[in-house]
Amino acid sequence: MHTNVWVVDENVDNLESCAQITESAELLQKNEVVAFPTETVYGLGGNALSEIAIAKIFKAKGRPADNPLIVHVSSVSQLDQLVKHIPESARPLIEAFWPGPLTIVMPGGAQVASNVTAGLDTVAIRMPDHPVARALIHKSGIPLAAPSANLSGKPSPTTAAHVYEDLKGRIAGVVDGGPTGVGVESTVVDCTGDVVTILRPGGITREQLEEVVGKVSVDPALSNEGQAPKSPGVKYKHYAPQAPFTLVEGDTEAIQSLVNEAKTEGKKVGVLATEESKHHYDADLVISCGTRKDLATVANRLYDVLRAFDKENVDVIYGETFPTSGMGEAVMNRLMKAANGRIIKKEFLGN
Protein backbone atom coordinates (compact mmCIF):
# COMPACT_ATOMS: atom_id res chain seq x y z
CA MET A 1 0.00 0.00 0.00
CA HIS A 2 1.24 3.48 -0.86
CA THR A 3 1.23 5.85 2.12
CA ASN A 4 0.55 9.47 1.18
CA VAL A 5 2.01 12.36 3.18
CA TRP A 6 0.11 15.65 3.15
CA VAL A 7 1.88 18.64 4.71
CA VAL A 8 -0.58 21.13 6.19
CA ASP A 9 0.11 24.48 7.86
CA GLU A 10 -2.22 24.66 10.84
CA ASN A 11 -2.16 28.47 10.70
CA VAL A 12 -3.68 28.89 7.23
CA ASP A 13 -7.18 30.31 6.86
CA ASN A 14 -10.02 27.88 6.15
CA LEU A 15 -8.15 24.61 6.60
CA GLU A 16 -11.11 22.62 5.30
CA SER A 17 -10.62 24.09 1.83
CA CYS A 18 -7.04 22.79 1.61
CA ALA A 19 -6.55 20.10 -1.02
CA GLN A 20 -4.62 18.00 1.51
CA ILE A 21 -7.54 17.97 3.96
CA THR A 22 -10.04 17.27 1.18
CA GLU A 23 -8.05 14.33 -0.19
CA SER A 24 -7.44 12.75 3.20
CA ALA A 25 -11.10 13.26 4.23
CA GLU A 26 -12.26 11.50 1.07
CA LEU A 27 -10.11 8.48 1.95
CA LEU A 28 -11.62 8.39 5.43
CA GLN A 29 -15.11 8.44 3.89
CA LYS A 30 -14.06 5.34 1.89
CA ASN A 31 -13.16 3.56 5.13
CA GLU A 32 -9.40 3.95 4.72
CA VAL A 33 -7.26 4.93 7.71
CA VAL A 34 -5.30 8.17 7.91
CA ALA A 35 -2.97 9.50 10.62
CA PHE A 36 -3.38 13.09 11.77
CA PRO A 37 -1.97 15.40 14.47
CA THR A 38 -3.70 16.25 17.72
CA GLU A 39 -2.42 18.40 20.57
CA THR A 40 -1.30 15.24 22.40
CA VAL A 41 0.13 12.71 19.92
CA TYR A 42 -0.58 11.70 16.33
CA GLY A 43 -3.73 9.59 15.99
CA LEU A 44 -4.57 6.88 13.46
CA GLY A 45 -8.07 7.77 12.32
CA GLY A 46 -10.84 5.66 10.86
CA ASN A 47 -14.64 5.91 10.57
CA ALA A 48 -15.95 5.16 14.07
CA LEU A 49 -19.25 3.96 12.58
CA SER A 50 -17.62 1.34 10.30
CA GLU A 51 -16.34 -2.04 11.50
CA ILE A 52 -14.38 -2.34 8.25
CA ALA A 53 -12.43 0.88 8.90
CA ILE A 54 -11.80 0.00 12.54
CA ALA A 55 -10.50 -3.45 11.60
CA LYS A 56 -7.92 -1.71 9.39
CA ILE A 57 -6.73 0.34 12.39
CA PHE A 58 -6.18 -2.78 14.50
CA LYS A 59 -4.39 -4.53 11.63
CA ALA A 60 -2.10 -1.58 10.86
CA LYS A 61 -1.05 -1.15 14.49
CA GLY A 62 -0.95 -4.83 15.44
CA ARG A 63 -3.20 -3.82 18.32
CA PRO A 64 -5.05 -6.38 20.52
CA ALA A 65 -8.75 -6.37 19.66
CA ASP A 66 -9.83 -6.19 23.32
CA ASN A 67 -8.25 -2.73 23.68
CA PRO A 68 -10.97 -0.07 23.08
CA LEU A 69 -10.43 3.02 20.93
CA ILE A 70 -11.11 6.69 21.57
CA VAL A 71 -13.51 8.45 19.21
CA HIS A 72 -12.66 12.01 18.15
CA VAL A 73 -15.30 14.59 17.31
CA SER A 74 -15.21 18.15 16.00
CA SER A 75 -18.41 19.34 17.71
CA VAL A 76 -20.62 18.41 20.66
CA SER A 77 -23.49 17.81 18.22
CA GLN A 78 -21.71 14.67 16.98
CA LEU A 79 -22.33 13.04 20.36
CA ASP A 80 -25.90 12.31 19.22
CA GLN A 81 -24.47 9.61 16.92
CA LEU A 82 -22.28 8.10 19.59
CA VAL A 83 -23.92 8.05 23.03
CA LYS A 84 -27.24 7.06 24.59
CA HIS A 85 -27.12 10.17 26.72
CA ILE A 86 -24.62 12.64 28.16
CA PRO A 87 -24.15 12.01 31.91
CA GLU A 88 -24.68 15.06 34.09
CA SER A 89 -21.15 14.75 35.50
CA ALA A 90 -19.75 14.96 31.95
CA ARG A 91 -21.36 18.30 31.08
CA PRO A 92 -19.13 20.57 33.22
CA LEU A 93 -16.06 18.65 32.02
CA ILE A 94 -17.06 19.17 28.39
CA GLU A 95 -17.57 22.87 29.05
CA ALA A 96 -14.26 23.23 30.89
CA PHE A 97 -11.90 21.04 28.85
CA TRP A 98 -13.25 20.57 25.30
CA PRO A 99 -11.59 21.04 22.96
CA GLY A 100 -8.59 19.63 24.80
CA PRO A 101 -6.76 16.54 26.08
CA LEU A 102 -9.66 15.03 28.02
CA THR A 103 -11.45 11.84 26.95
CA ILE A 104 -14.82 11.11 28.55
CA VAL A 105 -16.33 7.62 28.79
CA MET A 106 -20.13 7.68 28.34
CA PRO A 107 -22.90 5.15 27.64
CA GLY A 108 -22.40 3.95 24.06
CA GLY A 109 -24.94 4.42 21.30
CA ALA A 110 -26.03 1.83 18.74
CA GLN A 111 -24.31 3.49 15.78
CA VAL A 112 -20.78 3.05 17.13
CA ALA A 113 -18.91 0.15 15.49
CA SER A 114 -18.71 -2.74 17.96
CA ASN A 115 -14.95 -3.16 17.51
CA VAL A 116 -14.42 0.45 18.64
CA THR A 117 -15.67 -0.38 22.12
CA ALA A 118 -14.13 -3.88 22.40
CA GLY A 119 -17.56 -5.20 23.36
CA LEU A 120 -18.15 -2.71 26.18
CA ASP A 121 -21.43 -0.83 26.54
CA THR A 122 -19.51 2.45 26.86
CA VAL A 123 -17.64 4.64 24.40
CA ALA A 124 -14.68 6.98 25.01
CA ILE A 125 -14.89 10.36 23.26
CA ARG A 126 -12.87 13.53 23.05
CA MET A 127 -12.69 16.74 21.02
CA PRO A 128 -9.06 17.47 20.07
CA ASP A 129 -7.66 20.96 20.45
CA HIS A 130 -5.78 20.97 17.15
CA PRO A 131 -7.09 22.89 14.15
CA VAL A 132 -5.93 20.28 11.63
CA ALA A 133 -7.62 17.46 13.54
CA ARG A 134 -10.91 19.29 13.87
CA ALA A 135 -10.83 20.41 10.22
CA LEU A 136 -10.26 16.84 9.07
CA ILE A 137 -13.06 15.44 11.25
CA HIS A 138 -15.50 18.13 10.12
CA LYS A 139 -14.55 17.79 6.44
CA SER A 140 -14.97 14.02 6.53
CA GLY A 141 -18.37 14.38 8.21
CA ILE A 142 -17.78 11.37 10.44
CA PRO A 143 -16.47 10.81 13.98
CA LEU A 144 -13.00 9.28 13.89
CA ALA A 145 -11.81 6.50 16.14
CA ALA A 146 -8.11 7.16 16.59
CA PRO A 147 -5.57 5.41 18.80
CA SER A 148 -1.97 6.63 18.69
CA ALA A 149 -0.49 6.23 15.20
CA ASN A 150 2.34 3.84 16.05
CA LEU A 151 2.97 0.12 15.99
CA SER A 152 1.39 -1.32 19.13
CA GLY A 153 3.79 -1.26 22.07
CA LYS A 154 6.19 1.33 20.62
CA PRO A 155 6.49 4.91 21.90
CA SER A 156 3.62 7.06 20.70
CA PRO A 157 4.36 9.39 17.76
CA THR A 158 4.73 13.12 18.28
CA THR A 159 5.78 13.91 14.69
CA ALA A 160 4.64 12.76 11.26
CA ALA A 161 8.11 11.26 10.76
CA HIS A 162 7.49 8.92 13.72
CA VAL A 163 4.23 7.78 12.11
CA TYR A 164 5.83 7.19 8.71
CA GLU A 165 8.67 5.25 10.31
CA ASP A 166 6.21 2.85 11.97
CA LEU A 167 3.32 2.62 9.51
CA LYS A 168 4.67 3.25 6.01
CA GLY A 169 2.93 0.84 3.65
CA ARG A 170 0.31 -0.06 6.28
CA ILE A 171 -2.00 2.99 6.06
CA ALA A 172 -3.44 5.25 3.37
CA GLY A 173 -1.73 8.42 4.52
CA VAL A 174 -0.36 10.84 7.10
CA VAL A 175 -1.48 14.44 7.51
CA ASP A 176 1.67 16.25 8.63
CA GLY A 177 0.66 19.19 10.81
CA GLY A 178 4.02 19.55 12.57
CA PRO A 179 5.06 18.35 16.04
CA THR A 180 2.42 17.88 18.72
CA GLY A 181 2.16 19.99 21.87
CA VAL A 182 1.29 18.13 25.09
CA GLY A 183 3.28 15.04 24.13
CA VAL A 184 1.40 12.46 26.23
CA GLU A 185 -2.07 11.18 25.49
CA SER A 186 -5.31 12.57 26.85
CA THR A 187 -6.58 11.96 30.35
CA VAL A 188 -9.45 9.44 30.27
CA VAL A 189 -12.28 9.72 32.79
CA ASP A 190 -15.34 7.52 33.28
CA CYS A 191 -18.56 9.47 33.81
CA THR A 192 -20.93 6.51 33.85
CA GLY A 193 -20.80 5.98 37.63
CA ASP A 194 -21.60 8.00 40.72
CA VAL A 195 -18.10 9.51 40.90
CA VAL A 196 -15.90 10.71 38.03
CA THR A 197 -13.10 8.14 37.78
CA ILE A 198 -9.69 8.51 36.16
CA LEU A 199 -8.99 5.55 33.90
CA ARG A 200 -5.76 6.96 32.48
CA PRO A 201 -3.79 10.03 33.60
CA GLY A 202 -2.78 12.41 30.84
CA GLY A 203 -2.81 15.99 29.59
CA ILE A 204 -5.40 17.18 32.14
CA THR A 205 -4.25 16.66 35.72
CA ARG A 206 -6.25 15.24 38.61
CA GLU A 207 -6.02 18.62 40.30
CA GLN A 208 -7.57 20.37 37.29
CA LEU A 209 -10.44 17.87 37.19
CA GLU A 210 -11.18 18.31 40.89
CA GLU A 211 -11.42 22.08 40.47
CA VAL A 212 -14.42 21.44 38.19
CA VAL A 213 -16.23 18.37 39.60
CA GLY A 214 -14.85 17.96 43.12
CA LYS A 215 -13.22 14.77 44.35
CA VAL A 216 -12.43 12.18 41.66
CA SER A 217 -11.41 8.55 42.07
CA VAL A 218 -8.79 6.42 40.30
CA ASP A 219 -9.70 3.16 38.60
CA PRO A 220 -8.14 0.01 40.18
CA ALA A 221 -7.23 -1.24 36.68
CA LEU A 222 -4.36 1.26 36.65
CA SER A 223 -2.58 -1.06 39.07
CA ASN A 224 -4.29 -4.35 38.15
CA GLU A 225 -3.18 -5.58 34.75
CA GLY A 226 -5.65 -8.48 34.80
CA GLN A 227 -8.80 -6.40 34.53
CA ALA A 228 -10.55 -5.78 31.23
CA PRO A 229 -9.62 -2.25 30.12
CA LYS A 230 -12.26 0.47 29.84
CA SER A 231 -9.58 2.73 28.38
CA PRO A 232 -6.58 2.44 26.07
CA GLY A 233 -3.20 2.23 27.71
CA VAL A 234 -4.05 0.39 30.92
CA LYS A 235 -3.69 -3.32 30.10
CA TYR A 236 -0.71 -3.96 27.85
CA LYS A 237 2.92 -2.96 27.75
CA HIS A 238 3.07 0.41 26.02
CA TYR A 239 5.47 3.09 24.85
CA ALA A 240 8.51 0.80 25.12
CA PRO A 241 11.88 1.41 23.48
CA GLN A 242 13.61 -1.61 21.92
CA ALA A 243 16.25 -1.94 24.66
CA PRO A 244 15.29 -3.07 28.19
CA PHE A 245 14.33 0.03 30.15
CA THR A 246 14.48 0.22 33.95
CA LEU A 247 13.44 3.08 36.21
CA VAL A 248 15.63 3.85 39.21
CA GLU A 249 14.16 5.48 42.28
CA GLY A 250 17.35 6.98 43.68
CA ASP A 251 19.93 9.70 43.25
CA THR A 252 22.35 10.12 40.35
CA GLU A 253 25.00 8.02 42.11
CA ALA A 254 22.56 5.12 42.34
CA ILE A 255 21.88 5.27 38.60
CA GLN A 256 25.56 5.69 37.76
CA SER A 257 26.42 2.55 39.73
CA LEU A 258 24.02 0.58 37.51
CA VAL A 259 25.52 2.22 34.42
CA ASN A 260 29.02 1.22 35.52
CA GLU A 261 27.95 -2.36 36.11
CA ALA A 262 26.37 -2.62 32.67
CA LYS A 263 29.41 -1.08 30.99
CA THR A 264 31.71 -3.64 32.61
CA GLU A 265 29.54 -6.27 30.91
CA GLY A 266 30.28 -4.62 27.56
CA LYS A 267 26.84 -3.10 27.12
CA LYS A 268 26.06 0.19 25.41
CA VAL A 269 24.16 2.12 28.08
CA GLY A 270 21.63 4.93 27.82
CA VAL A 271 20.32 7.19 30.59
CA LEU A 272 17.05 9.11 30.50
CA ALA A 273 17.87 12.21 32.54
CA THR A 274 16.74 15.79 33.08
CA GLU A 275 18.36 19.17 32.48
CA GLU A 276 19.31 19.29 36.14
CA SER A 277 21.08 15.93 36.18
CA LYS A 278 22.34 15.14 32.68
CA HIS A 279 25.90 16.33 33.38
CA HIS A 280 26.26 13.91 36.31
CA TYR A 281 26.20 10.76 34.20
CA ASP A 282 29.01 8.94 32.42
CA ALA A 283 27.14 6.71 29.95
CA ASP A 284 27.24 6.01 26.22
CA LEU A 285 24.14 8.10 25.63
CA VAL A 286 22.55 10.57 28.04
CA ILE A 287 19.39 12.35 26.89
CA SER A 288 17.45 15.01 28.78
CA CYS A 289 13.67 14.73 28.56
CA GLY A 290 13.05 18.16 30.12
CA THR A 291 13.31 19.99 33.41
CA ARG A 292 12.07 18.99 36.85
CA LYS A 293 10.95 22.58 37.35
CA ASP A 294 8.22 22.03 34.74
CA LEU A 295 7.13 18.42 34.19
CA ALA A 296 5.08 19.49 31.18
CA THR A 297 8.43 19.71 29.37
CA VAL A 298 9.12 16.09 30.31
CA ALA A 299 5.71 15.00 29.01
CA ASN A 300 6.31 16.91 25.79
CA ARG A 301 9.65 15.23 25.01
CA LEU A 302 9.17 11.79 26.55
CA TYR A 303 8.22 9.73 23.49
CA ASP A 304 10.72 11.48 21.23
CA VAL A 305 13.48 10.66 23.71
CA LEU A 306 12.46 6.99 23.96
CA ARG A 307 12.61 6.73 20.17
CA ALA A 308 16.02 8.42 20.15
CA PHE A 309 17.47 5.57 22.21
CA ASP A 310 16.28 3.14 19.54
CA LYS A 311 18.12 5.04 16.82
CA GLU A 312 21.40 4.76 18.78
CA ASN A 313 20.97 1.01 19.35
CA VAL A 314 21.71 1.04 23.06
CA ASP A 315 21.61 -2.30 24.89
CA VAL A 316 20.04 -1.09 28.14
CA ILE A 317 18.42 2.12 29.41
CA TYR A 318 18.11 3.50 32.94
CA GLY A 319 15.70 6.32 33.72
CA GLU A 320 15.02 8.75 36.52
CA THR A 321 11.66 8.84 38.32
CA PHE A 322 9.41 11.82 39.05
CA PRO A 323 6.88 12.99 41.64
CA THR A 324 3.36 11.76 40.89
CA SER A 325 1.51 15.02 41.49
CA GLY A 326 0.19 17.18 38.66
CA MET A 327 1.59 16.25 35.26
CA GLY A 328 3.97 13.86 37.02
CA GLU A 329 1.13 11.37 37.38
CA ALA A 330 0.86 10.98 33.61
CA VAL A 331 4.64 11.01 33.14
CA MET A 332 5.19 8.20 35.65
CA ASN A 333 2.28 6.21 34.23
CA ARG A 334 3.91 6.25 30.77
CA LEU A 335 7.39 5.54 32.15
CA MET A 336 6.16 2.55 34.13
CA LYS A 337 4.47 1.21 31.00
CA ALA A 338 7.63 1.78 28.95
CA ALA A 339 9.64 -0.09 31.60
CA ASN A 340 7.04 -2.87 31.78
CA GLY A 341 6.90 -2.23 35.52
CA ARG A 342 10.65 -2.57 36.11
CA ILE A 343 11.78 -0.21 38.87
CA ILE A 344 14.74 -0.42 41.24
CA LYS A 345 14.51 1.28 44.60
CA LYS A 346 17.51 3.18 45.91
CA GLU A 347 17.74 1.09 49.08
CA PHE A 348 18.17 -2.09 47.01
CA LEU A 349 21.53 -0.71 45.84
CA GLY A 350 22.87 -0.43 49.37
CA ASN A 351 23.40 3.31 49.28
Question: Is 318 annotated for ligand binding?
Answer: no
Q: Determine the angle formed by the axes of helices 295-311 and 328-338, rounding to 10 degrees.
A: 20
| Helix H or strand E segment including 200 | strand 197-200
Q: Please choose, from the candidates 148, 129, 99, the residue with its C-alpha nearest in 3D space to the C-alpha of residue 38.
A: 129
Question: Is 236 annotated for ligand binding?
Answer: no
Question: Is 303 annotated for ligand binding?
Answer: no
Q: Please choose, from the candidates 304, 314, 292, 308, the residue with its C-alpha nearest in 3D space to the C-alpha of residue 334.
A: 304
Question: Is 170 annotated for ligand binding?
Answer: no
C-beta of residue 70 within 8 angstroms of C-beta of residue 145: yes
Question: Is 126 annotated for ligand binding?
Answer: yes
Residues 155, 310: Cα–Cα separation, whole Å? 10
CA distances from 131 to 21, 112, 127, 205 (A): 11, 24, 11, 23
Question: Is 114 annotated for ligand binding?
Answer: no
Question: Is 40 annotated for ligand binding?
Answer: yes
- Describe the strand order of the beta sheet including 187-190 as a list of residue ranges: 4-7, 173-176, 34-37, 42-47, 144-145, 70-72, 122-126, 102-107, 187-190, 197-200, 217-218
> Over the range 5-25, which residues count as b (16 or more CB within 10 Å of their CB) and which as e?
ebebeeeeeebeebebbeebb
C-beta of residue 307 within 8 angstroms of C-beta of residue 155: yes
Give yes or no for a cis peptide into 241 (omega within 30° of 0): no
Please tell me the chain's helix, strand, coil percentages from 3-state DSSP, rounded to the nearest 5: 35, 20, 45
166 phi and psi angles, rounded to 5 deg: -85, -40
Question: Is 115 annotated for ligand binding?
Answer: no
| Helix H or strand E segment including 262 | helix 252-264
Question: Is 146 annotated for ligand binding?
Answer: yes
Question: Is 156 annotated for ligand binding?
Answer: yes
| Helix H or strand E segment including 302 | helix 295-311
Question: Is 122 annotated for ligand binding?
Answer: yes
The total of other beta-carbon atoms located within 10 Å of residue 341's CB is 11
Q: Which residues fall in the annotated binding site for ATP?
A: 63, 67, 148, 156, 200, 239
Binding-site residue ranges for L-threonine: 40, 72, 122, 126, 146, 186
List binding-site positions: 40, 63, 67, 72, 122, 126, 146, 148, 156, 186, 200, 239
